[in-house]
Structure 1
Amino acid sequence: MRREDHTVGDIFSYKYPAQRDATYNVLLLHGIGAHGGIYEPFSTLHAGKGAHVWAMDAPGHGRSSHTRPRGQFTLGEWVEAAVRFAEHIREENGLPVVALGSSIGSAPAYSTLYADAVDAAVLMGHGIPGAEKGFLPRQNPFKAKEVQMIAGRFGRELKLHIDLAINFDEDYGFRGAEAQKKADPYNTWTYDFSSLVSFWTYEPKVPPSENTKPIMVAVGAEDPMSPPAAVREVFDEIAGPTEFVEIPGPHQLLLFGTEAFSDHIHDFALRVLK
C-alpha cells in the first residue's frame, strides 16, 4: 500500500494512488465525527481498481483542525473545502472526480456537484440538503428566528456529544465498536450547536430537483441509521441520471461492505465518466 499526505490551505487529505493506470479520482467525504483515514481498507482496495482515492478530513475534523477546535465548522465550509480539493485534484492529474459521501458526508458530496471540478457523486446516506424527505420536515425548525438567536448567543457553548447521540456498537454492528473508535485520536466527539444549525439549514446551489449530473445512491440493507425505505424516498426527489443500489447484508458499506460497494462504484464510474 502507498499513501500520501496532501494539504490544501488548512484542509488535509490522504491520497491512495491508483495501483494501475488511473482513469478517475474518488474524493471521499467522511461521516459524523470521523476522518478520512478510517476508510483505509476501502481506499486501498479501490485504488487497486485504477482510481486515485482522496480521503479528506472536513474542516474542524481530524487533521483539518489546526486553526479551530474540533467539532467547529459549517456545512458551507465543508462543501467549499471539498470543491477546492477537487480543483487541486484536477490540476494534479486532469482526471474526472467522483465525490463519495459516507453518512452525513453525503450532504457535502451532493452539494459539490455545482462545481465544474466534480463530475459525479456516490451517496451512502439520505441527508441530502434540499430534499423534503431528508433529515428534517419541510417546515425546518432550525430556520426559526428563535433557534437562530440561540445559535448566535450560545452556539459555541452548547454541544452535541456524539457518543450519547449514536450507539456505535449498534450502528457498526459489533460490541466494542465505540471503544475502538475512541482509541483513534483523530475522531471528533462533540459538535457545537452553531455547526449543527449550519448543517440543518444549508441550501445547496443546485437543489436535488434540478440536478443534472450522474448520481448513485447506495444503502446497505441492514443499515439502522439510513433505512433503505427512507433512503429511497430521498433518492426519488433527485433529478438527472440517477441509480439506486441496495446491497444485501451489510450496513456501513465503506467499512463492512467494501468489496461489493467498491465494485458498484467502479462500474458506475466507468459507465458515466466518458
Structure 2
Amino acid sequence: MEQFITVEDGTRIFVRQWQAKGEVRGHIHVLHGMSEHSGRYAYFAEQLAEVGYHVSAHDHRGHGQTAEANDMPFGYFAAVDGFTQVVRDVEAVTQALHIHAPFILFGHSMGSFIAKRYAQLYPHRLTKLLLCGTGATTALHLVGKQLAMRLASWQGADVPSQWMDKLSFGQFNRAFQPVRTPSDWLAANAEAVDAYRADPYCGFVSTNQLYADLLGGMRSGHTKRALQQTPNIPILLISGDKDPVGHYGKDVWKVAKHYVKADVTNVQVCLVANMHHEILNEKNRANTIAYIQRWLYE
C-alpha cells in the first residue's frame, strides 16, 4: 500500500506499508539511508510482515518520491534545521498511520542517525530500536559540518556537494581494491551493487546543506546529555564487519559503549561476517533477517 501524508509544513511525504500476516506483533517503521529510498526495503518488509509485523517506511525529504512530489532538489532536507525536520517527519508519519501496536524503529546508515535522535526526542514512543550500518561520531564530523556550511554559503545550499561526497563516500572503496564500481563498498553482492547503480532514485550526490544538516544532527545526538535521553529499551546494533561506515565494526562497538555509559544497558551488537554496508542486500540476507526476527521475538 502506498500513499502520501502531508506534514505540518505542507510537505507531502511518500509512505509505503506492508500488512502483517495474522496477529500483529508490532509496528516496525523503516528509515532508509542517504541517496536511496524506502522501496529498497521491500524484501525485508515482506519477511517481517510474514511473521506478524506491520511494516511502514517513507522516503525522506530530498529522496525518492517525496523529492519528486514536492519538486525539491534530490539530497536536500530543508532551508532551515533540516535534520530536526526529518526527525519530526518520522513522528508525524507514524502517528498519522494510526497503527495500534508496539512501535519499533529500524534505521539504516543515515536513517540510523535519524532513528537515534528520534529515540531521544520521543522516548515514550518506542519499545525497541534497531540501528543498522551505523557509525560513531568524532571531532571530524564537526569539521565536516563547518566545511559543508561554508560550501553552502559559497556555492549554494542546494548545490550537489562534490567535495563532501569525495570526503565521505569517496573514501569507502579503499579497503576493497581492486574495485569494479565506485559503489562496491555497499555490498559484496555484485548484483545488489548493480541494482543500486541502475536505480534512478539512488546514487545521487547530496547537497552542501544536507551534509551540514546531517553532520550537525549526528553531533547533537551524540552528546552525553542526548544519549541519556534515550529510553532504556532493547537496542540492536547490526552491521557488516567489512562496513567502512562503522569502521569495520570498531565504531559499532564504540556506539554500544557510549550507550552503556549513558545507562542505556540493554544493547546488543551483531557484526555479520565478511559483509559490507548493506547487509539486507547481501546474498546471505535470509540469515541476517532471521537473526533480526529472533531478536524481535525476545
The percentage of counterpart residues that share the same residue type is 19
Structure 1 pair 210/138, CA: closer, same or farther in 2 (3 Å)? Answer: farther
**Counterparts of 2:193 and 2:296, CA distance in 1:** 33
CA, structure 1 residues 188+199, in 2 after alignment: closer, same or farther (shift >3 Å)?
A: same
SS in 1 for 2:211: helix
Deviation at 1:181, TM superposition (A): 1.9
Q: Answer yes or no: is the 8 Å Cα contact 2:31–2:111 preserved in 1.
A: yes
Matched, 1:232 2:232: no
The SS at the match of 1:199 is helix
Counterpart of 1:216 in structure 2 is 236
Q: Shift in Å at residue 223 of structure 1?
A: 2.6
Shift of 1:157: 2.7
**Pairwise CA distance, 1:211:** 2.0
Structure 2 residue matching 1:156: 3-state secondary structure: coil
For residue 65 of structure 2, give the secondary structure of its aligned residue in structure 1. coil
Which residue pairs with 2:9 in the alignment? Answer: none
Q: Which amino acid aligns with 2:134?
A: H
Map 1:85-124; keep pairs closer than 5 Å: 85-89=93-97, 91=98, 93-113=99-119, 114-115=121-122, 116-124=124-132
Distance 1:244 1:95, change over 3 A: same
> Counterparts of 1:29 and 1:99 in 2: how far apart (Å)?
8
1:159 aligned partner: 161
Contact 1:33–1:162 at 8 Å: present in 2 too? Answer: no
| From 81, 85, 108, the counterpart of 1:77 | 85
Structure with the bigger percentage of helix: 2
> What is aligned with 1:41?
43
Amino acid in structure 2 at the alignment position of 1:201: G
Give the whole-Å Cα distance in 2 for the aligned partners of 1:120 and 1:11: 24
Instruction: Please identify, of 153-162 and 231-240, the stretch whose mean Cα deviation from structure 2 is larger.
Output: 153-162
Say if 1:168 and 1:177, in contact at 8 Å, map to a contact too.
Answer: no
Rate the CA distance shift 1:176–1:19 in 2: closer, same or farther, 3 A: closer
- Change in 2 beyond 3 A, CA 1:84/1:49: same
Structure 2 counterpart of 1:34, one-letter code: E
SS of the counterpart of 2:196? Answer: helix
Among 240, 247, 250, the alignment partner of 2:272 is 247
- Structure 1, unaligned runs of 5 or more: 128-133
| Counterpart secondary structure, 2:64 | coil
Deviates more, 1:233-242 or 1:158-167: 158-167
- CA deviation after TM superposition for structure 1 residue 143, in Å: 5.2
SS of residue paired to 1:140: helix
Residue 178 of structure 1, CA deviation: 4.7
Question: CA offsets per residue over residues 120-154 of structure 1, 9 Å max, x none?
Answer: 21001334xxxxxx24327822454x764543443
What TM-score do you get using the length of structure 2 for normalisation? 0.77
CA contact (8 A) 2:152 2:159 kept: no
The one-character-per-residue Cα deviations of 1:162-190 (angstroms, maximum 9, x if unpaired) are 59736312321244655432322222502
Asked if the contact 1:100/1:122 (under 8 Å) is kept, the reply is yes
Determine the C-alpha separation between the residues in 1 that align with 2:241 and 2:54. Answer: 28
Distance in 2 (alpha carbons) for counterparts of 1:173 and 1:139: 27
Relative to the length of structure 1, the TM-score reads: 0.83
Structure 2 CA distance for partners of 1:44 and 1:210, relative to 1, 3 Å: same
Match of 1:58, SS state, is coil
Cα offset, 1:47, TM superposition: 1.0
**How far does residue 156 in structure 1 lie from its aligned partner after superposition?**
2.2
8 Å CA contact 1:112–1:118 kept in 2: the answer is no
Question: Displacement of 1:191 after TM fit?
Answer: 0.7
Amino acid at match of 2:272: I
| Residue in 2 that maps onto 1:64 | 66
